[in-house]
Amino acid sequence: MRKLPLVLLFVFLAAQSFAVGTWTKLVTTLPYNYGAQMNLLSDGTAMIHLANGGGDNYGNAWVRLTPDIHGSYVNGTITTLAPMHYTRLDFSAQILKDGRLYVAGGEYGTGLSNGEVYNPLTNTWTDTPLPGNTISDANSEILEDGRVLQSLVGATTGIVIYDPITNTYSPGPSTLGRFKESSWVKLADNSILYVDQNVRTSERYIPSLNKWIADGTVPVDLYDPYGSEAGAGLLLPDGRAFFLGSTGTTAIYTPTGDTTKGTWVAGPTIPNTQGTPDAPAAMMVNGKILCVVSPLPTSANHFPTPMSYYEYDYVANAFTRVNAPAGGTTTNNPSWTSNMLLLPDGSVLYGQQSSGNTVSRNMYIYTPDGTPQASGKPKIVNIVQNTNGSYTMTGTLFNGITEGATYGDDEQMNTNYPIVRLTSGTNVYYARTFNWNSTGLMRGNRPDTTTFTLPTGLPPTTTYSLVVTANGISSDPVSFTPATFSSVGKTDRNGFQGSGLHGFSATSFGSMLNLHFRLELGTPDQNALTLQLTKVDGQTVYEEKIPASGDFNRQIDLHSHGNGLYLFVLSNGKNRISRWITVQ
């Protein structure tokens, strides 16, 4: 719970420098007061909620921030989107696996107990059914199967699960303690951790059990005794979780990776007698956390001013102060008025509502120092075109190692999903991704897939440098020319003359993989083929030259490589035929 707003909006960009970052003012300003919520669509554009529309100053209006042709969000454009059916302030939000936006509840406005889903392809909103109780300013989290775990503030410990395919809610497992004002953190094992309100107990949701279980005891108080507020919680690059407290305390959780209790230790105290009574934070690409803090709350003032800005370095376990967006060291607003969102180029979009007589619609870019975390770097293994013209990309770490920026119960703005960017010269384009196979974090070499479609009007004969990004960290680029792709159908020629690959089968017995296929090739220049079998991490398992057409049977011993996903490729340097093989 927190006080009411009115506006301002900013943004940060990742670069390589040293010490702390710097601010740059954006060219574009908002058409109306910022409404406290931002979400990244899977086409690289940012949806921004405004506090107008609906007649109550909470707002049902949204705009879209689109980067310019050179990929700059600083010089981007803002366009109006369709309004929601309800006004909302401080509500649940999740980007679904099909690329739509789910929103529900609102501490203020007409959407207190209602949800709706935005379709960016049609620019329309669709209502969800009523969940059965008041949602209000509630936590939510997307599950591995694409459903949404939704808390109900009106039920104190009540949980429902939203299914976006059937547009229905079903009962979920109740929590053990109160979740109001808490921050939920998804861990590497897909469990969801939070600290119970006003106490030092913690608990986790275990998806495989569909239940909440008791976890370790926190050594410090994170909630203040006045408004019962707390700050953000984030997953660190080393797999631990970091929580900021309203009282100036912090706590660090080390998971076990199973259902046994993890361990908690006290983290560093926030400097200068400050805390986070409702405040955002963002895990930047360099592994540091950008934080907003304010003076400690009191019984007379639950949300004091001004707010300050810090970077938390988990390696040094220390805070470093940074300047405010408009200059100086502070902004004369309480910390609850601000918010953040990670963008695909490594930038962090920062928004601030107005408070009192302060009204601003300016936007800024924060450029952090250092280099992107190598452990969060995605990898592209393969791209194939589908019969409907879309593409399927396979690789690893498409969701990254963090959920990006966070706030807590009032707002969710996770960005742990793949974004595809194409570059030609100085021109930058974004594809639209959907049908992600996973929303999990720190997945290592487990295969990830996404479907993507190209933006309308993209020149098909141009060769692009294509990357996939996760929370602003980019993969190595691959060369991509849309016109050279052939759809995968009943005859898989992929540019080869002749009738191509026939009767492909792959079976395993023990450690042996048995391959059978027939090749029918055309002109002699097609006959210099290489057969390769590689693991999903790119390691070559088997390779041989294929001299001509014919029937082929191969037995490959995988004893030293184990089960998993393998890629079968036939290539002559210009064209290729590929098949994915799962060995279990």
* Chain segment 286-302, per-residue pLDDT in tens: 999 999 999 999 999 99
* Chain segment 341-381, per-residue pLDDT in tens: 999 999 999 989 876 555 578 888 888 899 999 999 999 98
Residue 368 sits in the same domain as residue 393: no
Residue 457 sits in the same domain as residue 380: yes
Residue 339 sits in the same domain as residue 453: no
Q: Which of 4-8, 201-205, 453-457 has the highest mean pLDDT?
A: 201-205
Residue 390 sits in the same domain as residue 278: no
Residue 299 sits in the same domain as residue 353: yes
Residue 167 sits in the same domain as residue 274: yes
pTM of the model: 0.84
Q: At residue 322, what is the residue type? A: V
Total count of residues recorded for the chain: 584
Domain assignment of residue 248, yes or no: yes
CA 9 to chain centre: 20
Domain assignment of residue 3, yes or no: no
CB atoms closer than 10 angstroms to residue 574 = 10
Q: Which residue has the tokens 């910390």?
A: 335
* Chain segment 430-443, per-residue pLDDT in tens: 999 999 999 999 99
Report whether 118 contacts 100 (CB < 8 A): yes
Domain assignment of residue 495, yes or no: no
Q: Whole-angstrom Cα distance, residue 301 to residue 305?
A: 9
The range of the structural domain enclosing residue 530 comes to: 500-583
Domain assignment of residue 492, yes or no: no
* Inter-CA distances, 359 with 7, 137, 186, 336, Å: 5, 24, 35, 15
Residue 346 sits in the same domain as residue 457: no
SS (H, E, C) 356-418: CCEECCCCEEEECCCCCCHHHCCEEEEEEECCCCCEEEEEECCCCCCCEEECCCCCCCECCCC
- Domain CATH number, residue 447: 2.60.40.350
Please give the structure tokens belonging to residue 449: 């897939």
Report whether 583 contacts 513 (CB < 8 A): yes
- The H-assigned helical ranges of 36-137 are none
SS (H, E, C) 468-479: EEECCEECCCEE
Please give the structure tokens belonging to residue 439: 């929303």
Report whether 329 contacts 320 (CB < 8 A): no
**Domains identified in the chain, total number:** 3
The chain-wide mean pLDDT, for the chain, equals: 90
More confident of the two residues 272 and 4:
272
- What pLDDT shows up at residue 583? 78
* Chain segment 90-128, per-residue pLDDT in tens: 999 999 999 999 999 999 999 999 999 999 999 999 999
- DSSP assigned state of 147: -
Reported as type and span, the H/E element at residue 318 is strand 318-322
* Inter-CA distances, 371 with 215, 267, 390, 415, Å: 35, 25, 33, 19
Which range (131-145, 267-281, 529-543) has the least confidence? 529-543
- Confidence band of 6 (pLDDT split at 50, 70, 90): very low
Q: Which of 335, 334, 307, 311 is nearest to 322 (CA)?
A: 311
Q: At residue 516, what is the residue type? A: H
Q: At residue 207, what is the residue type? A: P
Residue 364 sits in the same domain as residue 239: yes
Report whether 440 contacts 452 (CB < 8 A): no
Residue 353 sits in the same domain as residue 438: no
- DSSP assigned state of 7: B
Q: Which residues pair with 568 in a beta bridge?
A: 533, 579
